[in-house]
Homo-oligomer: A and B are copies of this chain.
Amino acid sequence: MHALVRKLRNLATVQDEELQAFVAMFSVKRSIRRGADIITMGNSSTFSTVLLQGLACRYKIIGNGRRQILTFQYPGDFCDGHSYILPTRDTAVNALTECSVGVILHKDIERITAKFPSLGLALWRDTMIEASIFREWNVGQRPALERIAHMLCEQIVRLEAIGVAGSSIPLTQVDLADAAGLSTVHMNRTIQDLRELGVLLKNSRAITVSHWERLVEIAKFDGRYLNMWQVPSDELATVSTRGEGICLPM
């Protein structure tokens, strides 16, 4: 549960005992395999799900039968968009790599946030940051190169925020295309452009950033919308549970 604890600490001043109590309410579900839906559309539920390991995406099937990815999710993220507040389930969540999740009953969340308001505040803030990300993606209408570069920047920053250093992005071109709303063909060609520009590694099959500054420049990326100013990645929480980390596929 490291990921969740780390995140909540960033969001508000929360006492260790509060975090411990919160974490204790979760039950863990492991080994969700790539391609499986973590959350399915339509059925409202009595519990919330937090991603603990792996990488997932929130998505929706749109008119033409295509998958539109709305956001990527990293360890510590609430998969179901805080369904305990608003039970709307108009999107699904899919595991892009093997995943583990934590599950907590809505009524347990209610109980503990009533008891520890600062925990509720942290959760609220989390919903706001999610909203920021959606807002930022909206400023779509960017040309493909900039759009993709921007998406890559966001993923790098979010990976760093959960302690995954290294500039390799564990997503396929298909995933990125579905997220950017571009065809895979055009995604591929633009990735190649970025490789030509020296921004991504050329030899590797994986998507690896080799020139961060230039990427940021192309993307006109200003990461403040991610609200990750705090916590410079070191002094991470040391509350309970076994070692975790995002698993880098490909």
Contact = CB atoms under 8 A, between A and B. Distances in A.
A131 interface: yes
Interface stretch (A45-53, A62-70, A151-159, A200-208): A62-70
Report how many copies the assembly holds.
2
A139 B68 contact: yes
Contact of A134 (B124, B125, B131, B220): B131
A121 B224 contact: no
Contact of A81 (B91, B131, B224): B131
A85 B121 contact: yes
Interface residues of A, number: 39
* Among A62, A114, A139, residue most surrounded by chain B Cβ atoms (within 10 Å): A139
A26 interface: no
A70 B135 contact: yes
A82 B132 CA distance: 12
* Among A81, A90, A117, A142, residue most surrounded by chain B Cβ atoms (within 10 Å): A90
A244 B220 CA distance: 42
A60 interface: yes
A32 interface: no
B88 A224 contact: yes
A227 B44 CA distance: 14
B63 A146 contact: yes
Nearest to A87: B227
* Among A85, A121, A129, A142, residue most surrounded by chain B Cβ atoms (within 10 Å): A85
A117 to B, nearest CB: 7
Given A63-B142, A134-B131, A137-B138, A125 B225 contact: no
A130 interface: yes
A141 interface: yes
A140 interface: yes
A121 to B, nearest CB: 7
Interface string A128-172: 111110110111111000100000000000000000000000000
Given A86-B227, A90-B222, A140-B140, 15 more contacts: A62-B139, A63-B220, A68-B139, A70-B138, A85-B124, A85-B128, A88-B128, A88-B132, A88-B225, A90-B225, A127-B131, A131-B131, A134-B134, A134-B138, A137-B138
13 contacts: A68-B139, A70-B135, A85-B125, A86-B227, A88-B132, A90-B132, A90-B224, A120-B120, A124-B127, A127-B131, A131-B131, A131-B134, A134-B134
